[in-house]
Structure 1
C-alpha cells in the first residue's frame, strides 16, 4: 500500500460526490471531467479494481490540449467482457459540476459546507478504451473509477517493442493495434500496411510476414494479453492513491447506497437499456433510440432510491448519513479489499461454516505454536461445531497473529459487483437452509442460477418479503489490541462496541481478547438480497449467485451487503486497512 502523506499536509475537508446506479444497471457511477475541455464521464465506482479508464467515445481526447501520450498500454479481462487501450496523462476533475439529477430534500443536510469544493489532478494517468465494441463492457457507463490498491494497476511499456521495429513515434496514443497494425502470433512481430509503414516508420522498412500462421489485433483480448505479458511492466499509481499522495485528501473514503438494482416506478424497464454501445453511431434510428434512453436515464436519476454518495477523504464526519456505532472488519491484504468470512447464517438456523477454518488450521501444522485440538469438528454444512468457543478462538487467533496467513482471504468487499457471489459450498448450503424454512423459497431462487434472469425477474406477486429471513454474515473483525476510538453519529468519540449489528464471541478471558480479533456480524435484510421493481415495475430479482466457473474459492460481497449500511474504507488504519459499517440514517 502506498504511504499516506503526513497528517499536516492533508486538507481536513472531504469531498461529497453524488452518485447514481442508473447507467451501470445497478452499479454506482460518479461523474468525473476529463481533459482541458472538462468532458463529463460517468464512471463505475469499483473497489474491486484500481484502474481509471474512460471510453474513447465519451472523452473528447482529440480536442484535449492537456493530453500527453505515453508508451504504456493497459488491458483488463473480466468474467464477461474486457478492454485494452493506451495510457495517457491529462487533467481530471471531480465534483467540478453537479451531475444531471436533483438530489431530494432528504439529502440536503450538510454539516460540512466545504465538502463540495472540487478536486483536480492536472497530470493524471488515464487509460482510454480502444474500441466502441469493448465499451459495451461498462453497459451505459463511460468507464471505471478503481478504488483498490496499486497492485491491481499494472501497465505494459511498449517502447522497446516500438524501437525494435522502428515504429515512430514510440507511443500507444493514437492506438496503433487495431486495423492499422496486426501482430503475428508466432513471434509477435508487427505487420504494418504500406501506408502505415510510410507514416509511422522512419526508414520505411517493411517487416517480413513469412511463417506467420495467424495475425491478430488488440480486438482479440486474450491473444493481445499474451503479447503484452512479454513486455516490461510498471504499476501505475491509482487515482485515489494519487489524491492522498498529493495531500488533497486523507487516505479513506466512504460509500452510501440504497439499492443494488435500478428502481423502476414507471413503465420503462431494463430492456430499454439492453442495447450496448454500437460502432454504428451514425444510424438515424440509433440516434432516436439514444435520445429515448437519455430521457429515461434522466427520469430514473430523479428517484432517491437510485441515488447515493461517495465521500472522498473522509467518512465519520458525515453524520447526516449514518447513526449509531460502527462495526469494523479487518482488511487482511492491501490488494483488493480482502476480508475473512467465517460463516453465514439464514435466520436463526445454525451457522454455515465458510471452511476457512479448515484451510487455516491445516496450514498451521507445524508452522504455528497452536496445537491441533482433536475435539474440534469442522462444519461442512449445517452440523453444529463442537466446542464452539475454542474453535472460534483458534481460528481468530490464527488469522490475527500469523503474518504468513495475512493474505489468505476468502472474500472481497466489492462496490463494483451489484450482487453477492458465494462459493459453491456456501451457496448450496444457503439454499438448503432457505428450503428448510419454507420449501417454496428454493423454487423462487432456482431461476436466478441463470444470470440472464437479472434482466427478466419474476412477478412481485409471487414474493412476500415478510416471510423471508434475515441473512447474517460473520467476519473476522478488528483486533482488540489495535482497536481505535471511532465516531458515533452524535459526533462523540466512543469505543467501537458494535452494538447495532454485531455479535461477539471468543471472549473466554481478558488475555484472549487482547490477542485475537473479534468475530463480528453484518445483516442483510430480505429487501436487499431481493430487489423489487426491477428490472421493470412489478418485477423482482434475487441478488445472490453461486461461484462463477473458473473463479477462485472466494466470495464476492457486493452491493446487497452495503445497501443498508454507511461503509467507510479506511486505508490508513493498521498496515492493510479496515472497513467500518454503520446503520444508514
Structure 2
C-alpha cells in the first residue's frame, strides 16, 4: 500500500513498430548505465516472461547499477527459437521510468530466429515462466554452455514489470493498440501508420484517446501465460463449443499473446472453419496456411465471414465474445505488395489456441495483473 504522502505509480507510453520483426511489435528500452548504456529495440511479448538482450547489441560493464549473479537462463519459444545467457541485475529505463536491480539475461547463445531484426525481448507474462538455474559461480563474464546451465538448480527470476512494480514505480499492467499482424508492404512501410502502434506500461484505462466505450473483461485462469478459457468459436452466424481440456503442458485451452502474429488454432477448430467456407474460400485458406502468398485480387473480403472467439468472463460477469473480421485474419499487402497472407496457423493438437495479434488488432487491449490471477480487458479502439 502507498502512504498518504507517496506518489502513486505513473505509467509509460511509448510508440511501437512491427517493422523490425516483420510482424511482432518492438519498443525502445534502455539497459545499463553510463557509457555502456544502450537503447535497444525489444520484442514486446505477453507470451513469455524473460527480459533478454543479445550480447551482440549490449556488452554490460559490471559496476554501479550492473551486477553479476550466479543465475543462467535457457529459454525456448513456440516458434522454435531459443537462447542461453547470463542473468545480471541491471538498470532498465522504459520511457521516463527507471528500474534498478532488474533481472536481465545477456544472451550469448541464440538461434538465428530468436531476435531477428530486434535486439532482445521483453517478456511481459508471469514469474512462473521466467525459469533460471542457480550455478556454482557467477555467470558473467564467464559463459556457461546451455547444458551446463540446465544442470544447475532450477528456480525463477522476477520478470521486469513485476520488478518495476516491486520498486513502486509502475502497476503490473500494460496495454496495446496495434493494427497489423504482418508489415504492410508499400513505398514507405517504416512510416505507414498501420505498421505503428502504442504500448502503455503500468496503466491503460487512462489513455482515453485510444479507445471508446466500456471494456469487456476476460478472466485469466493461471499465473504463467495470460491463460484463458476459450468457450466457443463462431464462423459468421454459426457457433460451436470448444472443449475446455488443455493440451499437455498448458494450464488452460488458450492464451492471448502479443508475441504471436497469427491465430494458432487446433485441428478441430481449423476443420470447423473450413467446413463452413465455400469450396473456393477453403482452397485459398489452405494454400495460404501452406505458405503460398495469395494475390489481393483473389480475395473479396466482403464475402468472407467474421470469426469470433468467446472467452470465459470474470466471476459474476459475462463471457466475452471478440470478433476478428476478415480484414484482420487476412493481411493484404503482406510479404509482397499486392499479395496477402492468412494470419491463421494450424496447430498439431487441440487445446492450446494462441490468440495473437489478429485478435488484438480489433481492440484496445489491457493485460492487468494487479489483482488475483489477472484479467484481460478489451475495448473498441478509436
TM-score by length of 2: 0.93
CA drift of 1:6 comes to: 4.2
Per-residue deviation, residues 287-338 of structure 1 (Å, max 9, x unmatched): xxxxxxxxxxxx5331111111111111111110001111110111111101
Q: Which of 456, 461, 474 is equivalent to 2:297? A: 461
Mapped pair 1:344 → 2:141:
no
Q: What's 2:60 paired with?
A: 61
SS at match of 1:541: strand
Distance between the aligned counterparts of 1:63 and 1:518, measured in 2?
A: 51
Q: What's 1:535 paired with?
A: 335
Q: Does structure 2 conserve the Cα–Cα contact (< 8 Å) formed by 1:10 and 1:248? A: no
CA drift of 1:245 comes to: 1.1
Distance between the aligned counterparts of 1:135 and 1:35, measured in 2?
A: 24
Q: What's 2:39 paired with?
A: 40
Q: What's 1:353 paired with?
A: 241
Mapped pair 1:304 → 2:186:
no
Per-residue deviation, residues 393-435 of structure 1 (Å, max 9, x unmatched): xxxxxxxxxxxxxx9521001101011101211111111112x
Q: What's 1:380 paired with?
A: none
CA drift of 1:127 comes to: 0.3
Mapped pair 1:245 → 2:166:
yes
Mapped pair 1:474 → 2:310:
yes
Per-residue deviation, residues 518-575 of structure 1 (Å, max 9, x unmatched): 2221100111000111112111000111114xx67210010000001000112123x2
Structure with the higher fraction of residues in strand conformation: 2
Q: Does structure 1 conserve the Cα–Cα contact (< 8 Å) formed by 2:85 and 2:143? A: no
CA 542–262 in structure 1, closer or farther in 2 if over 3 Å, else same: same
Distance between the aligned counterparts of 1:304 and 1:479, measured in 2?
A: 38
Distance between the aligned counterparts of 1:315 and 1:144, measured in 2?
A: 21
Structure with the higher fraction of residues in helix conformation: 1
Distance between the aligned counterparts of 2:357 and 2:300, measured in 1?
A: 22
Distance between the aligned counterparts of 2:174 and 2:3, measured in 1?
A: 16
CA drift of 1:230 comes to: 3.4
Q: What is the Cα-based RMSD across aligned positions, in Å?
A: 2.0
Q: What's 1:411 paired with?
A: 254
Distance between the aligned counterparts of 1:572 and 1:90, measured in 2?
A: 24
- Count how many residue pairs are aligned between Structure 1 and Structure 2: 375
Q: What's 1:554 paired with?
A: 352
CA drift of 1:173 comes to: 1.1
Q: Which of 330, 333, 351 is equivalent to 2:222? A: 333
Distance between the aligned counterparts of 2:63 and 2:262, measured in 1?
A: 37
SS at match of 1:518: coil
Distance between the aligned counterparts of 1:261 and 1:52, measured in 2?
A: 24
1:367-516 matched pairs, under 5 angstroms: 408-434=251-277, 438-450=278-290, 453=291, 457-480=293-316
Distance between the aligned counterparts of 1:419 and 1:530, measured in 2?
A: 10
1:205-220 matched pairs, under 5 angstroms: 217-218=145-146
Specify every segment of 5 or more residues in structure 2 that has no aligned partner in the other structure, as ranges: none
Distance between the aligned counterparts of 2:153 and 2:7, measured in 1?
A: 34
SS at match of 1:579: strand
CA drift of 1:134 comes to: 2.6
CA 64–264 in structure 1, closer or farther in 2 if over 3 Å, else same: farther
Q: Does structure 1 conserve the Cα–Cα contact (< 8 Å) formed by 2:86 and 2:143? A: no
Distance between the aligned counterparts of 2:149 and 2:125, measured in 1?
A: 22
Q: Which of 96, 101, 106 is equivalent to 1:123? A: 101
Specify every segment of 5 or more residues in structure 1 that has no aligned partner in the other structure, as ranges: 96-117, 160-169, 178-216, 219-223, 267-298, 361-406, 481-516
CA 48–464 in structure 1, closer or farther in 2 if over 3 Å, else same: same
TM-score by length of 1: 0.61
SS at match of 1:242: helix
Q: Does structure 2 conserve the Cα–Cα contact (< 8 Å) formed by 1:35 and 1:61? A: yes
Distance between the aligned counterparts of 2:101 and 2:61, measured in 1?
A: 17
CA drift of 1:121 comes to: 1.3
